[in-house]
Structure 1
Amino acid sequence: MTSPKTAGAETAAPRWATAALVLGDGAVFWGKGVGAARQAVGEVCFNTSMTGYQEIITDPSYAGQIITFTFPHVGNVGTNLEDIESINPAARGVVLRGDITEPANWRNAKPLDDWLKGHNLPGICGVDTREITRRVRDGGAPNGVVIHAPDGKFDIPALTKTARDWPGLDGMDLAIEVTTKQSYQWNETTWALGKGYGKLDKPRYHVVAVDYGAKRNILRCLANAGCKVTVVPATATAEDILRHKPDGVFLSNGPGDPAATVGYTVPAIQGVLDSKVPIFGICLGHQLLALTLGGKTQKMKLGHRGANQPVKDLTTGKVEITSQNHGFCVIEDSLPATVEVTHTSLFDGSNEGIRCTDKPAFSVQYHPEASPGPTDSHYLFDRFVEMIDRSKGK
């Protein structure tokens, strides 16, 4: 492991290096390559979770991003066919502190390095992830290129230019890239030790989930709460959604700039609001609900990514430890008087939840379904079902 070189300094690769992380400001981190032998450009972020790297890498909300893991032992439990949040990972690549070790877990089906290769994801290990995290913390998330080159050949000036010229996530619509192409039904419930995933046989309600990059465990939690789920594409109109005659509508998580999607998302959400069908939104869905209600969003300097983020529920006074992954947030001062702030971050005071006082709609910025992370916030799915109950006079 070496200290990063900066633009103008000697950037010849050490003889042992088979990978590099090159930032747009010219900084270069040398390491050993893992995963696919290729390069990828994206926004470099960090995640503070100590578990669940497979769920993190397959979370569609990481589209366009290179994930730096602050926990040093990533890959130590291998991978399996169950701990995935999407079939095709949308993340651009990974940055790891330690070498990927031999898997030591009874659920392992394939080593992480082989799994990364199978999904064409490049990565680098053996770098000072603390230094990278400090750079992101102090200067914001930079553009970068992660390259795995087994021959040890690197064109650093060209890689630096690629990173510098990448447009970044601000103004980028990525939901359109990760959404489902067609509608489908979902009835799989959450995982249980010794049983795996269950199946919902007798649903109480029917929920339409708008897929902006939905994690599978969100759909499982909806099914666990007694809801049969119909998943529709991000571009579904209000008419497309309402023709399914839903008892409730769910707005999913997803990647990119929420404001870049308003041409097709806001009219659809407004149509559902006008119909008085209950709405529950998570992450990008939270931001899109706020935009529909007249609020505004902005890109955060750091974003929140990890399974250890404290949030206060202002309606109960309780503090939840939550799983989060977002780089944009709702600007509270922009919200109309008919919107109540329900949750706030205890890290930086940013908005974490809202509800309408005149319509059956609420949303949260964080991920109550976890995967990975604590289950402190699973109650929100029950709160959604209770809202549907009230809408039906029960």
Structure 2
Amino acid sequence: MATEVLVPTLGESITEATLGEWLKQPGDAVAADEPIASLETDKVSVEVPSPVAGVMGAHAVSVGDTVQVGAMIATVDAGGSAPAQAAAPQPAVTEAARDEAPAPAAGGYGNHGATPVDSDAPAALSPSVRRAVLEHGVDPATIKGTGKDGRITKEDVAAAASSKPATAPAAAPAPAPQTPSVAASTGRKEERVRMTRLRQTIAKRLKDAQNTAAMLTTFNDVDMTAVIEARAKYKDLFEKKHGVRLGFMGFFVKAACMALKDIPSVNASIEGDEIVYHDYVDVSVAVSAPNGLVVPVIRDAQDLTVAGIEKTIGDFGKRAKDGTLKMDEMKGGTFTISNGGVFGSLMSTPIINPPQSAVLGLHRIEDRPVVRDGQVVVKPMMYLALSYDHRLIDGREAVTFLVALKNAIEDPTRILIDL
């Protein structure tokens, strides 16, 4: 008996999504609640589980199609079993499927649903990994994944490409449908890749922020000597006690919470003709995910210890990479901190995340000459950037916020005694 697979509820105000990839192909054995497809929403990727155990039926939609909440996307034959010969000829079927033109568009290479039968079968490929496979011309069936549940990551693809024999590129034209157009005379290439729903949403929200808010950015710099010394002195004990590394973000989140309490307008937002002040601090932290930047929220950050903050951020970073962040974890937020320094950024003018009214940009730490007590000395310095909505936050308040943050970081004892 065929059971319909429906698009699940995706979250408040989200009514549609894009089918990112099929994790199961028709004829694959599936277990109850086993993911069979991945949907891309405005914020995160959501896996669609099978409602019953059985055999994967027909796909009702294709990769890249927009689907509505509650719509049928496939069927599962409940209680059925996969063909007995499926396990033995698996490699031949995989190769044949890879040679067919529609294969890449159907959501990946080979039969990803064979994992329960053959532990060496490749795990499902995310869109970013599929692009990397096409760019490097490698066979995903030969790559051992190091990601969650054995999934292949972009790093795995790059490593496989670097170890590939020099003659391998000659065999790369297999995925013909995705090959970019080539000018034969010059060898110049172009590639057109459809924007993911997440990237489209990021683009729209950032442009809306520029069009709506009266954005202005104020800069300051901070001497990181005291924090670096504290981290070097206590990092081993900290990790032993709390099971997480002591980074810089814990200090900055705590310092920001203190400064936001003193300058509440930086933690406020505009709704219509009203200003909404918050007596709590929900800090959105920008982290990298395979499909773009996401901003999960640290709830009630003002009540957390440095250890609690570091644990939360570490968990967010890991699950963003795995694509397992939940929709509710991306909602809300009263203030954002974006650390471009981890990528080497010296200075930037970050864009606010509406309806928030401010975002703090952190940058790389580098030794620079500064004057202390009339002497030129070398100190580890970092530039801070606060972008804010000038409709709500005056320049005096923005500068006062940055100075309070700077004082707390340069003298971390202030964080302990709430000064």
Smaller-chain TM-score range? Answer: under 0.3
Which structure would you say has the larger Rg? Answer: 2
Higher strand share: 1
When the two structures are superposed, what TM-score results if normalisation uses the length of structure 2? 0.24
Higher helix share: 2
